Structure 1
């Protein structure tokens, strides 16, 4: 099962100048709970914005830079190669970004785990539009902003509709 996991604003914005747009501790905890013990697939720029391999996960980074290396990650040249390696590790694979990687994987994703942040901010990186003809929202849990989380937000689960 391929799951895309993302935090995005109301205009599908996810980043600006290779940085996340918000700091939501509750969302970071949710991300950790969802992805721990599973392979995570990301682009090189996303990895560089994180700055290190995420613990208790197999970190698979897609890069076409031949001379690039980082400790603790598996570097591959394509999404196809990343998913091939990930499937050998675990049947539950999480794609964690960035925008280009989401755009190339959404058409064969089984599930979308979306944190919808109730704001619009300046961005240069976006999540693809969710096609409601292909996905159904099966769960939504919403939270109000508080002293640690600066915005209202909702955890949503979208599942690919079954072919008839």
Structure 2
């Protein structure tokens, strides 16, 4: 949760081997998953790392985007900037919508202790990659929904009651 009590949801597509990226790109093409990401994050606050944002190339429509960067000079049109995840979560408390964490790996890792929900598209592939989703203790999370799709399953995990902490 954010300091003000907003729900924090991590949204990711993750291959069977934990890969989420290769050389700054997504190593698969699943248009239905992109549509799911859009539907899930629209109307909310999207927190992205600078590299992930720059890979997308622009703010995504119908979302308030907060970009995390350690560079105090960095700025981009149409986005808010925060130097740390905690700063981003505090800023999110002043904005409408819930918090959606959209990557990359460093941001997912930092957000895991604060996340209430993980919505993971489990991609049925094992591609080469250099970027991985953080491992999390399945005993601290419970799978509450699974929706099979072509080439992937959308799985919703909720933090198990009384199991706050590192993930």
Q: Secondary structure at the match of 2:39?
A: helix
SS at match of 2:139: coil
Task: Write the mapping of 1:34-73 to structure 2, written as runs, cut at 5 A.
Answer: 34-73=40-79
The within-5 A match list for 1:11-160 is 11-90=17-96, 92-144=98-150, 152-160=151-159
Measure, in 2, the Cα distance between the counterparts of 1:12 and 1:107: 18
Which sections of structure 2, spanning at least 5 residues, go unmatched?
1-6
Structure 1 residues without counterparts, runs of 5 or longer: 145-151
Q: Distance in 1 between matches of 2:56 and 2:128?
A: 20
Contact 2:67/2:82 (<8 A) preserved: yes
Q: Report how many aligned residue pairs link the two structures.
A: 157
Query: Equivalent residue for 1:148?
Result: none
CA distance in 2, matches of 1:37, 1:134: 28
TM-score between both structures, scaled by the size of structure 1 = 0.92
